[in-house]
Structure 1
Amino acid sequence: MSLSPIQTLERTRRLIDDLRARTAETSWLEFKENNADGPLIGKLVSALSNAARLADQHFAYLVWGIRDGDHEAAGTTFDPATKREQGQPFEIWLASRLQPGLDFRFEEVEYHGQRLVLLTIPAAATAPVEFDRTGYLRIGSATPRLSDHPERLRALWAKLQPYAWEAGLAAQFLTGDEMLARLDYANYFDLTGQPLPDNRQGIFDRFQADRLIQPDVGGHWNITNLGAILFAKRLSDFGPSIARKAVRFVAYGGAGRADTVTHRQDGQRGYAAGFQGLVDYIDGLLPRNEHIGSAFREERPLYPPIAIRELIANVLIHQDMTITGAGPLIELFSDRMEITNPGAPLVSPDRFLDSPPRSRNEALASLMRRMRLCEEQGTGIDKVLTAVELHQLPPPDFRTEGEAVRVVFFAPRRFAEMTPEERVRACYQHAALKYESGQRMTNASLRDRLGIDPRNASQASVIIRQALDVGLIRPADPEHPRAGYVPFWA
């Protein structure tokens, strides 16, 4: 939620207190009295934004009405609301000359009887910020071109590359009580296996160490996007950018989206706080197959629980958080489950099993692994495919659809009911799984995977030939055809 006008004014005054208390201007802070030169301001915005990223600050600040020498509030006549530059309102003129675009904000503040103007400048996020196609940097009281300092340009790019959505701010200027009211701190300590501290400062220290919160001005706190998305008691407390990333679940009465919706649930809690509840909820809706053991009848879920758990965890940690208005979607049909997450994949879907693990959300993935909500890096898809083969299910379909990744997880079907495409996909996934475990696929192993009677070995041979023809597998040793098969990338 955004701050109320009263809270905003109070935070701004506290912020100015903190800025004035600094013994000298920093690379991301500048004081002016009445200087209203448009091009100079544009160069300063570029320089301060870039300097803030180098200094690991979320924002840079330019304050009019504070004396440079003693930091006393002297007031200013500068008025960005009425100023015009080249016939345009100043803010429009400035915004049009900054690349990438910045959500900068001017505020007029009554401060100890003096009129001040505060310009809040977001730190560079995706590329160095340029004014009129030139990047600048703040060094002491100088504002040189960034290109004149290649070592600082390299350092800036190094800072920009790992900058992630997780480090952004979901809520600002909260008291300790307000912050604890929004985050499920007991769940955090339970999942991370740490004892709950007997004092509030201990909780704050652990949250800060895991980058879930950070100090704000005046003894207040900010909650990062990472903290909100993982441990929010109510995602709606953090506004649309967080709330719309809630996991949605929809169950249909048939095989299509036109069929009756039987169950619907929109997640309310953070991913970590609500993960087990979501998995249990879905598991409770899944149909069961009756299995007759040596002495007892027992019901087994239609889908392997470990596969569902891993697929959901993968969706959460690999989604593109920067796509607005979209979050993970889980849909249950009578014959399949579809799990969709926003964002094009970082690797081709047919290489999910073997490619080195990559994630857009490293801090989120790392913390979820630490809490054992997902498997170690790179092993989740292995466990999904292993469970699928153990239960002789049709092969899951990993596909890209527009700017999203969708996994289709199928209910049990006999070999005779699988499509030719599914049989070939099962062959490829089986060869890949075998190769990853140091083995090779053979006609016999493929028969076991698909439940083909040994007397029908020719059926497996046909599938292998089709997979060879489309280039998904190759002979492990062309000189010895009986040596087995490996995936095309081996």
Structure 2
Amino acid sequence: MGVYDFDLESYIGLARRLGTDTKRVEVKAAAQGLPKSMAETLSAFSNTSGGVVVLGLAERAGFQAVPGFKARAVADALAQMCGEKMEPPVRASVEIVEFEGSPVVVATVPELPPELKPCFVKSRAMHDGSYARVGDGDRRLSPYEVDRLLEGRRPPRYDREVVEGAAMGDFDEELLEGFMRRQRADSPRAFKGMSDEELLEALCVTARDGEGIVRPTLAGLMALGRFPQRYFPRACLSFTVIPGTSKADVSAEGLRFLDSREIVGPIPVMISELMVALRRNVRVSSKVEGAFRIDRLEYPETAVREAVANALMHRDYSLDGCASQVQVTMYGDRIEILSPGGLCRAMTVDRLGELGVSFPRNQALANILRATPYAEGFAEVGSVVENKGTGYFQIRASLREVNMPEPVAIDHITAFEVALYKAGAGAEAGRFGFGFGGRAGGGGRGGVRLPEGAAGGKIVRSVTEWSDETGRFHTIHVLAPGTVECDIVDFLEEAPAPVSSRILMDALGKSKATISRALNRLMDKSLVERLGPSRGPGAVYRLVQ
């Protein structure tokens, strides 16, 4: 959103009605010159989704122009701050415009690409001067969050590090032999003449410590070890079954958890054990085709298995990250998989599922898991992952096959979450007789149900529809936080009156085409309704009552 795309008059009209500025726009009086806190806002906008700064209007006075505002001096000071006091420099577009007969400064701050984050205040250094935009304020990032942003600049190498105290005897012989056999079969020329010791070292399964002793790497131990948790106690899986759609729900017997367990072992064993626990806790539907009976779980096994494998492979294995486990939580209407560490490098939520697009945080571990077999005695066969950037694509495809909603992906700086929702209304779901999400969890405005989230107060919106025939709500859509549709719903919930698409464009920083497409999708889902003419500037939008 450039300065000339920002409709200042429309936005200030909205801000006056709301009585506050918003996440994407910061309004300051700057009566005594450029506020020192402006550096924090520049950092916050650069590290999140960008935004607009408006200087010369007093929020406490109803966003009226500041008498005697020195627009030129403030604009020059802001441009200087962007170029000289921020690292990397903020490439903001700074202009002086007229508003209600008075000059104001309007600056558009773009989001930095991942490889340049974090943007920080030079005088405070990176780990003390990096901020993120939260609501309509700026929050200083923790050192751990800064370190995760730095992974956008260069891939981390924690998975290649030698595990102090570990020895070759810590490997699972069955998994190790299967891994080497697969590697030699796939690349006979590359490994011709190499000893097993040389092969393992070449593939980062092992490495030499400072004294020249060959030891397992973190990647080698997590993929092929007997009990990696001996060295990394929290590098495991937790599996919990909640009786309702919120962690606050309890069963009729007063139980908070229907099942709760910690799953340990190498990654292939943890995945298989998790699938065993899942099969024990989900309903199975059957249908007869000819002479055969076909059983199917409430959730496609491929989707769950791929999501858990991705979580274990791409999670944060830094010293701080290893203090947290991957959490798999099964609610009455969904499964949530939460892993430490957000998306890495150039990967974004929008690019998930693109064939061939892969930016693994742990490159050595990903390469090892490609040839790591599942352990004998479990239902899983083949290798743990394909390592071809198809994992998320397979999740989406397997959900579509049974008419289930798209997966909901939520990227935080310090964590990544995927939610898989039960089948909603649809022919395939009806044929198999799957249950739908119930009324538990409360209701929101406009037919929007707001179940409690699992991470950091996150809210996932599930669009629901009441059926008199079944006597329950059917989940038919999911809106993920961070999407344009969800941002529009957020905005309309706060707006005291219907708003135009222009106001939505200015408030959310999106183009006319993007807002129009999102509004059409929301209207198709009966979430938003249009008032006034079907086309033209007179149309306004509100949540369906």
Q: Report the TM-score range of the alignment, normalised by the length of the smaller protein.
A: 0.3 to 0.5
The two structures have a TM-score, normalised by structure 2, of 0.43
Which fold has the larger relative contact order, with Cα–Cα distance below 8 Å and residues 6 or more apart in sequence? 2
Q: Which structure shows the higher helix fraction?
A: 1
User: Which structure would you say has the larger Rg?
Assistant: 1
